[in-house]
Structure 1
Amino acid sequence: MNAPLRRPPDASPSVLWKLDEIVRDLRLAREQWRVAQQRTLESGGREFPSREALREIVDRLCGALFPMRLGPPDLQQGPSEDFYVGHTLDIALRSLLDQVRLELTHASRHDPLTGPASIENDAVAIVRQFAAALPGIRVVLDSDVEAAYRGDPAARSVDEIVLCYPGTLAIIHHRLAHRLYRLGVPLLARIVSELAHSATGIDIHPGARIGKSFFIDHGTGVVIGETAVIGERVRLYQAVTLGAKRFNVDADGSLEKGAPRHPIVEDDVVIYAGATILGRVTIGRGSSIGGNVWLTHSIPPGSFLTQAISTNEVLEGGGGI
């Protein structure tokens, strides 16, 4: 039997793990990457937005949007509610401004005509427009919450929807992320959407356009691609995919970015669990797509699509085959 490994009495952790060598090799790896990516003239400060900062920003925004449900436990309705909303928004928006500056600065690194003053003006304008959009986002989210309450017989209250439903958490993140995406900070938007993806298993690209009264029931495994367009009063169940059928390439063989490649789902459509819809196809208004359907072509309004019925036959003597 091998004797247990014992730490030498005079060995510090840095000696045990050879930390000096690891730190040196990691520095060399970083330097090689930066040279390859033409990032050798860094200012020394942080280059990219922070996931942790954005997590805190979104948490504050959720509290400001739904103060009595997602705000602090001791909050009271009345003047203190407005004070909390204003104070929380001020902190969140100031922090968001820092993150917007980082993305705009990174995006401008190859554009010598974009100076600090221009970046600052653009960052302030983006955050100002985002802030002005928040009341409208709250109104649309109310329609989403009401759609969930109407669409789920297990829901006992709209408050339960906001507090408990992963689909609601995902759509709150998406409404915020989509506004950032439209305002020209796609990296921030993607980070916000991925925070919800990590928490809920629901993957909605911030570029997807989604109408009001949207409800994702259960939710785990739902995927909605960047160029998907979803109408009003649409309901999805778990494991639904609105994806791309193929990816176009340019003359250099690189994937084309931003081309329409995901489905269009018109108003009042229901898509049941496990359905996969691929490509730039249109699901007509009022249609119903059954569970586990695989669909790569458009269907007209009012369609009802299910899987083919399986049959079990006994063929004697080859059955004519």
Structure 2
Amino acid sequence: MEGPGNLEQETKTCKADATSRSRYRETLPQIIDSIVDSCQKETRLSHISPERIPSRQAVKEILSRTHQLLFPGYFSRENIDPVNLNYEIGSMVTVLFELLARQITHSFRHQCFRYSLPCVGCEEKGYQEAVTLLLSIPGLQKILSTDVMAAYEGDPAAGSSDEIIFSYPGILAISIYRIAHQLYKQEIPLLPRMMTEYAHSITGIDIHPGATSGESFFIDHGTGVVIGETTEIGKGVRIYQGVTLGALSLPKDAGEQWRGKKRHPTIEDDVILYSGATILGGDTTIGARSTIGGNVWITESVPPDTRVIMEEPRLHFK
């Protein structure tokens, strides 16, 4: 049983703790003022505006719902059959349209307010561009069908197109890239890059939405693949993990000087790039039907029908 001395000591400790907490809390207004001051000075790191910025969570939802349209029946919560097809597609399109229009509007408004640009009629522009993307869905389905077939024909481990659609990170990254590329062509700010960076975060495959790619594009395994903004990829190209299609080293202050210019390679039709290959430079072209071996480093063009491999390494056992 505790005596009166122990109780008195405990009371003193509690009072001391309460005083200490109060003293620390008194510093909070000063901390708040310093953070607010920093927000006002460091404008690159803050979005202090009455207009909402595009939402990362909304971008994920847009991609999820667009996937339901691109691959009907695969990712839908409801079963889709010939009887309810019109109803289900109609429901998907209606919800996606509103989501898209809202986020595209936020993107344009953010740009206008952030950089004091002339008004482009953001809300109407949002609805207009949402319709344009939805109109592109059949075309996106057509080219994605060739991508899935390329994966099936190029990978002996693929059991079916169902397996590829459900589980291949390369197909997921390519499908998100193709959606983002369509928005990139429509000159929608922010959203395309947010989409491909989301794909990068979940697949390890980094494709800039500005890159162009022909049909029957296959990325096998895919982890560590990097494809830069001005890369041009032809038809029937196959890429393995760890491949980089990048730019040559640029000076520290080259951002404005090189922005929008060709900095990344061109890969012509039916080229195979094996794991770890690094191909750099806007003037570098890999000719059609060429095969680039693993861990090769290339900064010069390769003629068509060429096989490039590393000299066989020597192993030393000690």
Report the TM-score range of the alignment, normalised by the length of the smaller protein: 0.7 to 0.9
The more displaced of 28-37 and 296-305 is 28-37
Counterpart-to-counterpart distance in 2, 1:310 and 1:31? 58
- Residue 236 in structure 1 maps to residue 242 in structure 2: no
Q: Does the 8 A contact of 2:224 with 2:241 survive in 1?
A: yes
Q: Which residue of 2 aligns with 1:144?
A: 147
Offset of residue 28 of structure 1: 3.7
Offset of residue 246 of structure 1: 2.5
Q: Does the 8 A contact of 1:248 with 1:255 survive in 2?
A: no
The more displaced of 253-262 and 18-27 is 18-27
SS at match of 2:137: helix
Segments of 5+ residues of structure 2 without an aligned counterpart are 1-12
Offset from partner CA, 1:134-189 (integer Å, 9 cap, x none): 11001100000000000000111011100010000000100000011111113100
Distance 1:85 1:310, change over 3 A: same
Offset of residue 25 of structure 1: 3.0
Counterpart-to-counterpart distance in 1, 2:45 and 2:168? 43
Match of 2:309 among 306, 310, 316: 306
Which amino acid counterpart does residue 219 of structure 1 have in structure 2? G
Offset of residue 111 of structure 1: 3.5
Offset from partner CA, 1:208-253 (integer Å, 9 cap, x none): 0011100000000000000000000000000000011122677x98
Match of 1:256 among 258, 261, 285: 258
- Residue 92 in structure 1 maps to residue 96 in structure 2: yes
Q: Which residue of 2 aligns with 1:271?
A: 273
Q: Which residue of 2 aligns with 1:317?
A: none
Match of 1:108 among 95, 106, 112: 112
Counterpart mapping for 1:191-202 below 5 A: 191-202=194-205
Q: Does the 8 A contact of 2:80 with 2:88 survive in 1?
A: no
Distance 1:153 1:37, change over 3 A: same
Match of 2:59 among 42, 54, 60: 54
Offset of residue 76 of structure 1: 3.1
Bigger Rg, structure 1 or 2 = 2
The more displaced of 202-211 and 81-90 is 81-90
Offset from partner CA, 1:80-137 (integer Å, 9 cap, x none): 233222211211221111111111011112346316xx22222222111111111100
Offset of residue 42 of structure 1: 5.0
Q: Does the 8 A contact of 2:39 with 2:46 survive in 1?
A: no
The more displaced of 17-26 and 237-246 is 17-26
Q: Does the 8 A contact of 2:51 with 2:106 survive in 1?
A: no
Match of 1:44 among 27, 40, 50: 50
Segments of 5+ residues of structure 1 without an aligned counterpart are 1-6, 314-321
Aligned pairs, how many?
A: 300
The more displaced of 241-250 and 192-201 is 241-250
Offset of residue 29 of structure 1: 2.6
| TM-score when normalising by structure 2 | 0.85
Counterpart-to-counterpart distance in 1, 2:41 and 2:32? 14
Offset from partner CA, 1:45-96 (integer Å, 9 cap, x none): 42x2111011011101101111211222x41311323322221121122111
Q: Does the 8 A contact of 2:58 with 2:99 survive in 1?
A: yes
